[in-house]
Amino acid sequence: MKILFIGDIVGQPGRRAVAELLPKLRQQHALDFVIANGENSAGGSGITPKTAGEIFSAGVDVITSGDHLWDQKEVMELLQNEKRFLRPLNYPADVPGRGSAIFEVRSSEFGVRNLIGVLNVQGRTFMPPLENPFLLALDEVKRLREQTKIIFVDFHAEATSEKIVFARMLDGQVSAVVGTHTHVQTADEQIFPGGTAYLSDAGFTGPHESVLGREIEPVLKRFLTGMPQRFEVAKNRVLLHGAMIEIDDASGKALKIQRVAESI
């Protein structure tokens, strides 16, 4: 199975990159399943049913999220009604939405080919306080493995140390752990001894002539003056960042991981 994970989609430029590039990538690499982090897809902060609809229409199968989950009030509609949209697992149990799900992987020739579990978890170091992701993930992965050995994890976290040790904990139990949140694509892609593919951060999909997707001057002014600024989404040098992972269908172990950086 070949999976593409798309790093944090930022605003309209990020959505445009997905719409223009994903169909080509699907055909070029014979992709079976596509996951994208969409928590910044609405104006660079949060997600709405409209922006989620654009992302799904472009060919994304599942959208994950993170700490900007609540930035748009319309997100409640997604949490309550859209089964292909995930929030971090480690919110309290009575919070709307779900942190993991099992999805069918279909092919035009064979119909349902396999099942894949997708898990969205948020870290706690330098992040809003949530339930312990390590303890919750162990139990959730065990539950998902009752249905499939192919499991992908989006670990939305700030600290690389937290991401690495989280993935090491799950080595051999999930197919891949890919980090999101920092918007800076790392160069540490690898497959751990147990067969779990790992990348500390997938980067972001959107305008890279920017500061993490935002116009440069307001961010610089904030650092120079300490005064509040409006951080508009930038426009230029739009890239799609992510990771492509090839997984053995029978064992669920990763065979290959490759960073993706495509421009429009």
Please enumerate in sequence order all residues whose Cβ is within 8 A of that of 94, keeping only pairs 6 or more positions apart, or say none: none
Using the 8-state DSSP alphabet, how is residue 171 labeled?
Answer: B
Query: How far is C-alpha 56 from the geometric centre of its chain's CA atoms?
Result: 14
Question: Is residue 68 among the annotated active site residues?
Answer: yes
What's the number of CA atoms in the CB half-sphere (13 Å) around residue 237? 10
- The dihedrals phi and psi of 58, each to the nearest 5 degrees, come to -75, -15
The CA-atom distances, in angstroms, between 144 and each of 101, 147, 259 are 8, 6, 26
Catalytic residue among 68, 156, 181, 183: 68
| β-pairing verdict for 238-247 and 204-207 | antiparallel
Active site residues: 68
